[in-house]
Amino acid sequence: MWTPSAAANAYASLARLTDPQQGLTRARGEGSSSPSFAAMLKEAVNSINQTSRAADMQTQAMAAGKANIVDVVTAVAETEVAIDALVSVRDKVISAYEEIMKMPI
Amino acid sequence: MDFLRSIAIAASGLRAQAGRMRIIAENVANADSTAPTTGAEPYRRKVSSFKSEIDRALDAQTVALGRVKTDPSEFRLKYEPGHPAADANGNVKYPNVNSLVEMMDMREAQRSYEANINVITASRRMIQRTIEILKS
């Protein structure tokens, strides 16, 4: 019932990305093996998609009278946490981008 | 993430207590289930037990309902000569269920369930508070 958490994956990719030694410098193009922010976002969204699909399946099974309510609640809570984390990261990144765009040139 | 793991472990506690509740319901519902004929036994009280299980995916010990055993104590005897299950002396064996004991068990199951729910609520609140750091 425990699935590798989407949020944990997002954190891990973000940590890799923001690691000053390899993340941002390499994302600029020097040695291109580390993921870009777009790739990391895609990965995080994909894994959240999977988590939420599991939660949806549990909810449907409960509506059909098959699933245990405890499983539904834990699956939905896991999805909620993952989405909440990703949305916060996205908001933070967008606000940083806006901050940069506001810079007078 | 540790918080999600603690939620999963607490969920195993919820499931176990729900199973215990089911057994208590059986006992209470069958408190007056006598045997159909003279020789047969009435309903025998069931006793739930818990065992800890190692969950490899979680890398933690979760709880599960162990084997349901029956209570070997003696049946209650009631003098009811007209009953189809009455013996030669007119006594009928009634199940060895004591509704007061079942009520106490039910309260215990209820409180344990609430304790597990509190673990889930607290873990969720901690996750959310942590994510809120990102938002500010």
DSSP code string of A11-80: HHHHHHHH-TTTHHHHHTTSSTTSPPHHHHHHHHHHHHHHHHHHHHHHHHHHHTT-S-HHHHHHHHHHHH
Give chain A's mean pLDDT: 77
Residue with tokens 């729900």: B18
Tokens, residue A64: 């059909």
Considering only residues 18 to 77 of chain A, which have any Cβ-Cβ distance to chain B shorter than 8 Å?
A: 68, 70-71, 73-74, 77
* A24 pLDDT above the threshold of 90: no
Q: What are phi and psi of B34, to 5 degrees?
A: -85, 170
Percent of chain A past pLDDT 70, that is, above it, reads 68
Strand partners, B77: B93
pLDDT digits (tens, 9 = 90+) for A43-78: 888 988 888 888 888 888 888 888 888 888 888 888
Question: Which residues in chain B land under pLDDT 50?
Answer: none
What is residue A11's predicted lDDT score, i.e. its pLDDT?
63
Determine, for residues A74 and B131 on separate chains, whether the beta-carbon distance falls below 8 Å.
Answer: no
- State ipTM: 0.70
Q: Which residues lie closer than 8 Å to B125 by C-beta, 6 or more apart?
A: none
Determine, for residues B4 and A2 on separate chains, whether the beta-carbon distance falls below 8 Å.
Answer: yes
Determine, for residues B11 and A2 on separate chains, whether the beta-carbon distance falls below 8 Å.
Answer: no
Stretch A1-12: mean pLDDT: 56
Size of interface A-B (CB pairs under 8 A): 52
pLDDT digits (tens, 9 = 90+) for B73-87: 999 999 999 888 888
Stretch A32-39: mean pLDDT: 74
Determine, for residues A78 and B7 on separate chains, whether the beta-carbon distance falls below 8 Å.
Answer: yes
